[in-house]
Structure 1
C-alpha cells in the first residue's frame, strides 16, 4: 500500500471538470485524507484547457507533486498537455468518445471508458463528471458508500431523482473500468487515513470566514480573479450576521466605501488583485492620512496590466509597501497556510483598529484558490481588540471646541469617535490637519503630525512575524520564502537532507514593517541564503538586502512563468548552488 497519490482531471473549461474534482475530493476528505490541490484554468468563462491536480496523503502536505499517478481526461488535449507528468506505467482514464491515444514517449496505461455515453444513457451529458469520478474511485478500491454519500450531499437539494442518476453514473463507470482492469489496481491502494474530521477549503474562504469571526459586517468589492471568492463567500454569509456585501462600480469606490464604514465604527474590508490595488492607492493614502482603520486583501496574480489573471505570481510586494504617494504607516501581512489566512485576517482587523491605519493582507493565487486540507480552526483563539475606539460617553468639550481626534499622544494613536457621538464632532480631511482635524499648513504642525503617524510603526507587534524551522546552528543553506511557497520548500529540504545538505527555513509573514531583529540572527549564521519567490525581480530578496544586509550571501531562485514551484525545482537549484559554493 502507498501513503500518497497524485490525481488530475482535465478538459475544456465549462464542461464539469470542477464538479468531477469536487466530489472526488470531498469523499477523500470524509475518509480523513490530507489533500492539496492546484487548479490550472484559462482567463475566460468557457473554453480553453483547464485541469485540477489533487495530491492525496495520509500525512499533512502543503505542495503539489512533481509527477502524476492517474490522469482523467475528457479530451485528447488533456492527455497531450499533461501526460508527460505521469510516472512510469501511470494510468490515463479517458472518455472513449474522443478516441484517446497515448503520446509517443509516454509509458502509461490507457483505459478508454464511455464516460459521455454512460451519462447520455441516463438522460444528459451533465452526468459525465460523476462517471469520471466513479471510474477513478474504483481504481483506488475505496468504499463506494462514502463516495455516494458525498454525491447525496452535493446534489440532495435537487431531489432524489437527480441523486439516484448521479449515483448510477458512478456505479456504471466503476463497473466498466473494473472489468477492464480486473479489479482495483494494487499499486494505487492507499493506506487507511486517520478518519479525523478536517476542513478542505481555499484560502479565500478562510479569509472570508476569518473576517466574519473578526466582527466584519460590511464588504464593498468589485469582482476580480483571484479575489472574487472572498466576496462570494461573504455574500452568502454576512447577511446571516446582520451584515451585507455591495458590488461597487470599481475598486476606487470599494476602498473608499470600506474606509467610510470603518470611520462609522463598522468593521469592513475589501478584496482585490494587483490591478484593483493600483486603483486603490490614493484611497489607501487617505486612510493613512485620516488614521482610519481598513483591511484590504490583495490576492496576487500574474501581471503587469491584465497579465496572467489566472496564474501564480508574487509580484505585488514592493507595490503594497511603497505604492502610495507620500509616506503613511501601514502593515503588510503575508499568510502562508489556510489556518494563517483565517487567524491573520482576525489579527489584521485588530491591528488596523489598534493602530488606526490600513492593513494589507497579501496572498497569492495558489494560496487563494488552491484547495487544501486544514485542521479544524480554534475559535477560542479569537480576540477582538478595537483599540482606542470610544464606545461610551465622551467627556464634554468646551464651547466652540471640537474633539481632538488627532491628538498628539506618546504612542501616536489618538482617541477615536464615530459620527453621532455627543462631544465627538471633529473635522476630517485628506489635507494635513491639526489635532481637531482642521486644515493646517504650519511647518511645525506638519512635522509633528508626520512623526505622530509614522511613529506608530515602532509599536507594531504581530504574532509570529517569521515562521522558523532551524534545526541547524550553521546550516549549509538558509531557504527563505513567503506565501504559498512554504510547503514546497519543506518538501525540497527533506530531499536535500538525504543528499547531506543541511538547511534551515524561514517563511516571512510580516513584510512591513520588516522584522529585522527576528530574521537577522539566522542570516548571520547561514553559509548561504536562497530566497524563493514567484517574481522576476527578487522583491523579497530586495527587502532583505535593504533592511538586513548580507547581500553577498543571498541567491535568488525566481519563477515567473505563471506556475507555482515544484519540490524538484527547489531541490535541484539548491543542490547545484551548494556544489558551486563547496568548490
Structure 2
C-alpha cells in the first residue's frame, strides 16, 4: 500500500480535463487525503494541450511531485508530452478511440479503455471523463461510490437522472478496467486516510475568503489570468454581505475605483497580474500621495507583455517595489501557502488602513491556481484594525471655517483620517503636493515636511510585522541557507531532507515581506550560513538583487528557472547539492 502517489489527466483544452481532475481530487479530499494539484494549460479558450497533475498523500504536502504513477490520456499528445515523468512501474490509461501507443523503450503499462465509446453508449460522449475517473478508481482500489457525494454536488441541480447517468459512467469505467486488467498490484493502492475534513482550494479562493473576512465589500476589477478567480469568487460571495463586484473597462479604472471606495470608508480591493499592475502604477502613486488605503493583488505570470499568461513565473518583484514614480510608502506582502494567502489578505486590509498606504499582495501562478489541502481556518485569529479612523468621531469645531488637518505632520507619520461628510472634517484631497489641510503647496519646507512624514510611516514595520520571514532553521551553522518566495516554499522544504541525508546542513528562509525589506532578520540567518542559495522563477535574479541591495551579496548563489514551469524537489535537491 502506498503512502502517496501522483496522478495526471491530460488532453485538449475544452474537453473536460479540469473537471476530471476536480472530481477525482475532491472525492479523495473527502476521504481525508492530503492533495496538491497543479494545472498546465494553454492560453487559448479551446484547444492546445492541457493537463492536471494531482499528488495524493496520507501526510501533508506542499509541492508538485517529481514523477508520475498514473497517466490518464485523452489523446496521443498527452502520452508523448508526459511519458517522461512516468515511473518504470507506472500505468497509462488511454482512450481506445485514438489507438494509443507508448514510445519505444517505455516500460510503463498501457491500458486502452474505450472512454468515449462507453460514454456514448450511456447517453453522451461528454461523460468520457467520468469513465476515466472510474477506471482510475479501480487502480486505486476505491469503490465507485466514493464519488457519489461529489457527483451529486456537481449535477443534482440538473436532476437525479443526470446524477445517476454520471455515476453509471464511473461504474462502467471501473468495471471495464477490472474486466480487462484483472487485479492491479497493491503498490498503486493508497493506504487508508485519516478521514478528517479539510478544505481543498486554490490560493485565489483563499484571498477572496480573506477579503470577505476582513470586511471588504467592494471589488472593481478587470478579468485577467491568473487573477480572475478572485473576482469570480467575490461575485458570488460579496452580495451575501451587502457588497458588490464591478467589472471595469480596464485596470486603471479598477484601481482608481478601489481607491475611491476606500476614501469613502469602504474596504475595497482589486486584483490583476503583471500587465494590469503596470497600468495601475500611476494610481498606486495616487494612493500613496493622498494617503488613501488600498489593497491590490498581483498574481504573477510569465512576462513580459502578454508573455506566458498561463505559466509560472516570479518576475514582478522589482516592479512591485519600484515601479511607482516618486517616493511613497508601500507595503508588499508575499504569502507562501494557500493558508497564508487567507490570513495575509486579512492583515493587508489592516495594514493599509493603519499606515494609510497601498498594500500589494504578491502571489504566483502556482500559488494562485494550484489547489491544496488546507486545515480548517481559525477565524478567532481575525481582527479588524482601522488605524486612525473613527467614523463616529466628534471632530472639534473650527473657527472661520478652517479646514481639517487631514495631513497633519505627526511623529509616527500617520494622520487622523476622516471620510466625506463628517462634520468639521472638510479638507482638500489632491495628487499634487499639499499642506496639512490638503491644499496644494510647492513650498520647499512643506514639501520636505510632508515627504518625511509619509516615508517615516513604515520605519518600524519589519520589526512589528508578525512574520516577515517564514523560517525553517534547525542549524546554528548551516552549509546552505535557501531563500525563496511564494510557492517555492513547499518544494524547498521537500528538498531539504534529501540534502540532509547527503550530509548537507540546510536552513530555509521564505521571504513574506518584500517591502519594507526585513534586512535585519534575514542578516541574522545569512550570517549563520556558509552559502545563501536564492531560488526564484525569473531570469534576472530579482529577489537575489533585492537581498543584495538590503543585506549584502558575498555569499549569494542564484538558482533560476524561467521556462514557465515550477521547480521540482528533485531538481532543486540536485542543484543545491552541487553548490555545496
TM-score, structure 2 as length reference: 0.99
**What residue is the counterpart of 1:464 in the other structure?**
467
Q: Which residue of 2 aligns with 1:409?
A: 410
Q: Find the partner of 2:511 among 508, 513, 529.
A: 508
Q: What secondary structure is seen at the aligned counterpart in 1 of 2:446?
A: helix
CA distance in 2, matches of 1:432, 1:377: 43
Q: Does the CA-based 8 Å contact 1:141-1:185 persist in structure 2?
A: no
For structure 1, which runs of at least 5 residues remain unmatched after alignment?
Answer: 579-583
Asked if residue 544 in structure 1 is aligned to residue 547 in structure 2, the reply is: yes
Q: Is the 8 A contact 1:411 1:459 kept in 2?
A: no
Root mean square deviation of aligned Cα:
0.7
1:217–1:267 contact (8 Å) kept in structure 2? yes
Q: What's the counterpart of residue 193 of structure 1?
A: 193
- Please give the secondary structure, in 1, of the residue aligned with 2:11: strand
SS at match of 1:277: helix
Cα-to-partner distance string for 1:422-447 (whole Å, 9 max, x where unaligned): 11111000000000000000000000
For the residues of structure 1 that align with 2:142 and 2:122, how far apart are their CA atoms? 24
Q: Which moved more, 1:396-405 or 1:555-564?
A: 396-405
**Equivalents in 1 of 2:423, 2:483: separation in Å?**
51
Provide the C-alpha distance between the structure 1 equivalents of 2:468 and 2:143, rounded to a whole number of angstroms: 44
Q: Secondary structure at the match of 2:401?
A: coil
Deviations 1:235-294 (A, max 9, x none): 000000000000000000000000000000000000000000000000000000000000
Match of 2:564 among 548, 554, 562: 562
Q: Deviations over 1:344-397 (max 9, x none)?
A: 000000000000000000000000000111101000100000001121122222
Alignment of 1:525-536 (within 5 A): 525-536=528-539
After TM superposition, list the pairs within 5 Å mapping 1:231-380 onto structure 2. 231-380=231-380
Residue 420 of structure 2 aligns to a residue whose secondary structure is coil
How far apart, CA to CA, are the structure 2 residues paired with 1:236 and 1:351? 26
Residue 133 of structure 1 aligns with which residue? Answer: 133
2:210 matched residue in structure 1: 210
Deviation, structure 1 residue 184 = 4.0
Give 1:487's match in structure 2, choosing from 484, 490, 505: 490
Equivalents in 1 of 2:28, 2:339: separation in Å?
A: 20
The answer on whether the counterparts of 1:288 and 1:358 sit within 8 Å (CA) in structure 2 is yes
- Number of the residue aligned with 1:59: 59
Secondary structure of 2:400 counterpart: coil
**CA-CA distance at 1:94 after TM superposition:** 0.3
Structure 1's consecutive aligned runs of 4 or more residues displaced over 3 angstroms after TM superposition are: none
Please give the alpha-carbon distance, in whole angstroms, between the structure 1 residues aligned to 2:149 and 2:419: 50
State how far apart, in whole Å, the 1-side matches of 2:3 and 2:566 are: 24
Pair 1:517 & 2:520 matched = yes
Task: State the alpha-carbon separation in 2 of the partners of residues 374 and 302 from structure 1.
Answer: 26
Deviation at residue 52 of structure 1 after TM alignment:
0.4
8 Å CA contact 1:331, 1:513 repeated in 2: yes
Measure the CA separation in 1 of the matches of 2:473 and 2:18: 39
Q: How far has the Cα of 1:156 moved from its partner? A: 1.1
Match of 1:68 in 2: 68
Q: For each residue in 1:309-336, what CA deviation from the matched residue of structure 2 results, as whole angstroms up to 9, or x when unmatched?
A: 0000000001000000000000000000
CA deviation after TM superposition for structure 1 residue 185, in Å: 3.3
Superposed CA deviations along residues 124-153 of structure 1, whole A, max 9, x for unmatched, are 111111111111011100233221221112
SS in 1 for 2:23: helix
Q: Following the alignment from structure 2 to structure 1, what is the Cα–Cα distance between the partners of residues 449 and 253? A: 31
Partner of 1:443: 444
> Tell me, what secondary structure is at the counterpart of 2:559?
strand
TM-score by length of 1: 0.98
* Aligned twin of 2:94: 94
> Contact (CA 8 Å) 2:10, 2:50: kept in 1 or not?
yes
Query: Which is worse superposed, 124-133 or 338-347?
Result: 124-133
Deviation at 1:463, TM superposition (A): 1.5
CA contact (8 A) 2:144 2:174 kept: no
After superposing the two structures, state which structure 1 stretch, 69-78 or 115-124, moved more: 115-124
Aligned residue-pair number: 577
Q: Contact 1:277–1:298 at 8 Å: present in 2 too?
A: yes
Counterpart-to-counterpart distance in 1, 2:34 and 2:354: 37
Partner of 1:553: 555
* Cα distance in structure 2, aligned partners of 1:541 and 1:80: 36
Instruction: Tell me the CA shift for residue 420 of structure 1.
Output: 1.0
Written as runs of structure 1 = structure 2, the 5 A alignment for 1:220-235 is 220-235=220-235
Counterparts of 1:158 and 1:215, CA distance in 2: 34
Specify the SS of the correspondent of 2:287. helix
